[in-house]
A and B are shown apart, each in its own frame.
Chain A
Amino acid sequence: MTPPAVTGRHTASIAAIRPYRDGMDLPVALAVTAAVLGVAAIAGVLLTRARGRARTPSSALRLDAGALPGLDSLAPGATLVQFSTEFCTSCAPTRRLLGGIVEARDDLELVDVDLTHRADLARDLHILQTPTIFVLDADGVLRTRFGGAPRREHVLAAIDAVITSERQSA
């Protein structure tokens, strides 16, 4: 019988090119959706942990007085350098936090560098986000850097570490 054979071949070729996928069962679909949300949640936890964390610089860097706009002198204890841009949401609160820490002590200084039109500085110093905070020791050596708004106790710990090592080497 020729006609059924032709019809059969015809539908088979349509099925081969026809884009078709069955729907999933509800539990499977919900499980896949939950898995996608789980990936997002894990990424969120990792990103939150990395944000504002203190990092020891991987390569040696020394910033002398005058190396950055506004860095006129180095404080005897530690100098905090905050890199900001215009309209950076967490820069102003961070500046207030650091300002409060620096104001209470006379061996610290705070310098704010606006990177908005200084893409060259951002590139040279490997700054990928604002605010970024550098903690420099009395010689201008970069000891700790924070990417993202840091917590107060972490800044204080970084400053203490710099001053303790300065006392030991003195």
Chain B
Amino acid sequence: MTTTTSTTSPKGIDPRGPRFTAGVTLVLAIAALISALLVPIGATVGARAAEPGFILLAILAIAFAAGTLGGPPRNPFGIVFRSLVRPRLKPPTELEDPRPPRFAQGIGLVLSVAGVVLHLAGVPWALAIAAGFIVIASFLNAVVDFCLGCQLYLLLARAGILGRESSAA
């Protein structure tokens, strides 16, 4: 029973990686929120694409896309963690299933893409609202180690909506 589970599950990751990523995400999302509130919205698509809030949220969207498609360690901030931060830390005592944080990255991707696309289309509060949600979720992940997207993944997996059964031997 235990042998089949170890072959079907993905390799565990250092849980401090996603938390570091959430910290960097939090800082960028706060900056995106403040600038989205401060800067008037441009009249043209080009002007809106040049606004700092848009650029910051677009950077987050790219990072979330990498973390969703390649898993949390592929997020650029996760790469920074592995190459610069982790060598200075003690080895991790426990490993974490990468699937819940990967799902959480996917939620961040949906939020940030919705924010930038709606902003380009000229929806007045799109950028600020998307940045606000990302601030709250990354704050909870970075500061109190509570990953909202991971909890959602677990709930959906429990309900059988996300494929868990496929890995059952």
Contact B135 A36 (CB under 8 A): yes
Q: Does B55 contact A (CB under 8 A)?
A: no
Known: A18-B43, A47-B146. A23 touches B33 (CB 8 A): no
| A23→B96 contact, CB < 8 A | no
**Residues of A88-104 contacting chain B, CB below 8 A:** 88-93
Q: Which of B37, B43, B93, B154 contacts A29 (CB 8 A)?
A: B37
**Other-chain contact of A32, B5, B37, B39, B144 (Cβ < 8 Å):** B37
Interface string of A21-32 (1 = CB under 8 A from B): 111101011101
Are B154 and A129 in contact (CB-based, < 8 A)?
yes
Of the listed stretches B72-80, B103-111, B155-163, chain A binds B155-163
Contact A40 B140 (CB under 8 A): yes
Complex interface: chain B residues within 8 A of A129 (CB): 151, 154
Instruction: Tell me whether A117 and B33 are in contact in the complex, defined as CB-CB below 8 angstroms, given that A26-B38, A89-B96, A129-B154 are known contacts.
Output: no
Residues from chain B with a CB closer than 8 A to the CB of A41 are: 139, 143
Q: Are A119 and B135 in contact (CB under 8 A)?
A: no
Query: CB distance A40 to B37 under 8 Å?
Result: no
1/0 per residue, CB under 8 A from A, across B1-41: the answer is 01001100100100100000000000000100110011111
> In the complex, how many angstroms separate the beta carbon of B89 from the nearest chain A beta carbon?
15
B6 partner residues in chain A, CB cutoff 8 A: 86
Minimal Cβ-Cβ distance residue in A for B138 = A40
B168 at the interface (CB under 8 A from A): yes
Contact in complex: B144, A23 (CB < 8 Å) = no
Cα(A133)–Cα(B136), bound, Å: 29
Say yes or no for A5: interface residue by CB 8 A criterion. Answer: no
Q: Which of A29, A87, A119, A122 makes the CB contact (< 8 A) with B95?
A: A87
Q: Contact check, B34 vs A21: say whether CB atoms are below 8 A apart.
A: no
Q: A117 CA to B168 CA in the complex, in Å?
A: 5
Chain B residues in 8 Å Cβ range of A122: 158
> Complex Cα distance A93/B97, Å?
16
* Among B30, B93, B151, B165, contact of A33 (Cβ-Cβ < 8 Å): B30
Neighbouring A residues of B39 by C-beta, 8 Å: 23
Q: How far is the CA of A28 from the CA of B34 in the complex (A)?
A: 10
Whether the Cβ atoms of A117 and B154 lie closer than 8 Å is no
| Residue A57 lies at the interface, judged by CB distance under 8 Å to chain B | no
13 residue pairs from A and B, CB less than 8 Å apart: A19-B43, A19-B122, A20-B124, A21-B125, A33-B135, A36-B132, A39-B136, A87-B96, A87-B97, A92-B94, A117-B167, A123-B160, A128-B158
Binding site for A on B (CB under 8 A): 2, 5-6, 9, 12, 15, 30, 33-34, 37-41, 43, 93-97, 121-125, 128, 132, 135-136, 139-140, 143-144, 146, 151, 154-155, 157-160, 164-165, 167-169
Q: A21-B124, A21-B125, A123-B159 are in contact. List 8 more A-B contacts (CB 8 A).
A: A20-B124, A23-B39, A29-B37, A33-B33, A40-B140, A48-B146, A92-B94, A117-B164
The 6 closest A-B pairs by CB, nearest first: A19-B122, A87-B97, A29-B37, A40-B139, A44-B144, A23-B40
